[in-house]
Amino acid sequence: MAGLEPLVEPSSVAVVGASSKVGKLGNTALVNVIESKIKNIYPINPKEKEILGFKCYPSVLDVPGDIDLALLCIPAKLVPQVISQCLAKKVKAAIIFSGGFREAGEAGAKLQSQIEKMIAGKEIRILGPNCVGLYNVTKGYNLTLSPTLKMLKDSIKPGKIGFLSQSGVFGVALFTVAVKKGIHLSKMFHLGNKMDVQDADVLEYLSKDPSTKVIVIYMEDVKDGQKLLRVLKEVTKVKPVVIVRVGKTEAGSRASASHVGALKAPDKLYSALFKQGGAIRAKSSFEALNMAWALSLQPPLKGNKIGIITNSGGQGVEITDVLCDNGLDVPELSEETQNRLLEEDAVPSWGSRKNPVDLTAPMPQTPDWYFKSSKILLETEEIDGLIIVVLGTPLEGLTSKIVEKAEELLRFKKPILISAISALPNHELLTKRLVEAGFPVYMDPYTTARCMVALYEYGKHLKKVGRWK
């Protein structure tokens, strides 16, 4: 079976159904390809001679050069004919944007089955149908029909997270959320009905992609569970994989069937598959994204002992509960470490030194207390990871201190997550500075704790498979 390189990194693209009319899918797709600065671009439309300054061709068969990728922006009923032409032309890959296949009922299922038979045993790789496409952020290739991603073009920066989604519009929405939060992706794939390219195929590709460090999957169903399990076992030895699977309930399963033609299977089978494969299962799509963010910026946990430094006792308690409910521990610090915190002026004399370390109400010295106590806890063998909770005005001074001293904290190779809530007008700017220094920042203490759980689960998995470094 051919690889995915022509699909993800094409040097020549044909846009079938290209249009000069703004608002048409064929126009959006073509403009996205043009703005991606791909070397060879071929609009396909038998009714036009030129579109947006590019010579137009009646069909892919009339294109003089080789075609790596064809984008199909045409009605479902025309797809079989165009796929036949692509096969004759030896086009290496195609993205079928069109809906109206298995998700649309019996007639659509027959149409999809017809195309599946046409491509069986052939070298062409097909993404979709019923999909938004893919975005190779590393290369700057927008191979989608999304006007939203076109608008966000200047804000999209390459990162380390590979993202697979079986939902198109929601996948784009998650991409948008990621961009707004400063979470940078390497690749985004929308799989749609998964006629040919499956989760396992993309996982294999991303496992070898040097620009991808973590992989996130938004999943509704799996067609070949054995293949996915086999690939997951190999991929998770080298890269963490976070999966959120929807359609667990009877109603959710029914909705998924009408959405992407998903096949029913008991959720416990998915849970077993993910666990055996070493994947981390998230409870929601936003949690999956946040977990991947933590895994992309911070090292996995070596053990399960977590230190918490906070200026809110209540937030410390909430985080402690979530951690302990998920197999981690918030141990009381030794008398030696507690004394050191006091002697080195790392906590106020009236604060708690036990763990969580409570700095209490904000004072001018609070940013210094945060840094000093963080360093002391990271130096000790009593904790394996650290959560810093900051509420209110201390965030400003703390940000400056942590950004300035980031290397001193990160050199311990222990994960550090920050939970920050404030009404400061420059809150977003402050958290952006922390993220750029390498620290994930969350507003929700529950999310912060769950992300530490993800770091623990992946560290535990690496030990299990003998890959802990």
Q: Cα(9)–Cα(448) distance, rounded to whole angstroms?
A: 35
d(CA 62, CA 33): 20
C-alpha to C-alpha distance for 248 and 251, rounded to whole angstroms: 8
pLDDT digits (tens, 9 = 90+) for 223-269: 899 999 999 999 999 999 999 998 665 554 555 444 444 455 688 89
Query: What is the C-alpha end-to-end distance of the chain, expressed in Å?
Result: 34
Residue 262: what pLDDT?
45
pLDDT digits (tens, 9 = 90+) for 62-121: 999 999 999 999 999 999 999 999 999 999 999 999 999 988 889 999 999 999 999 999
Q: Which fold has domain 300-464?
A: Rossmann fold (3.40.50)
Backbone torsions φ then ψ of 130, nearest 5 degrees: 60, 50
Q: For the chain, where do the domains classified as CATH 3.40.50.720 start and end?
A: 1-128
CATH architecture of 1-128: 3-Layer(aba) Sandwich (3.40)
Does 467 score more than 70 pLDDT? yes
Give the mean pLDDT of 183-189. 97
- pLDDT at residue 259, as a whole number: 40
Helix axes 267-277, 225-235, angle to 10 degrees: 30
pLDDT band at 414 (very low <50, low <70, confident <90, very high): very high
Mean of the per-residue pLDDT values of the chain:
93
Domain 131-297 bears CATH identifier 3.40.630.30: no
Q: pLDDT tens digit string along 19-58?
A: 999 999 999 999 999 999 999 999 999 999 999 999 999 9
pTM of the model: 0.93
Cβ atoms 220, 258 nearer than 8 A: no
Q: pLDDT of 130-154, one tens digit each? A: 999 999 999 999 999 998 898 888 9
Q: Tell me what pLDDT residue 256 has.
A: 46
Say which residues have a Cβ less than 8 Å from residue 459's Cβ, sequence separation at least 6: 300, 301, 302, 303, 468
pLDDT of residue 261: 44
Question: CATH 3.40.50.261 residue ranges in the chain?
Answer: 131-297, 300-464
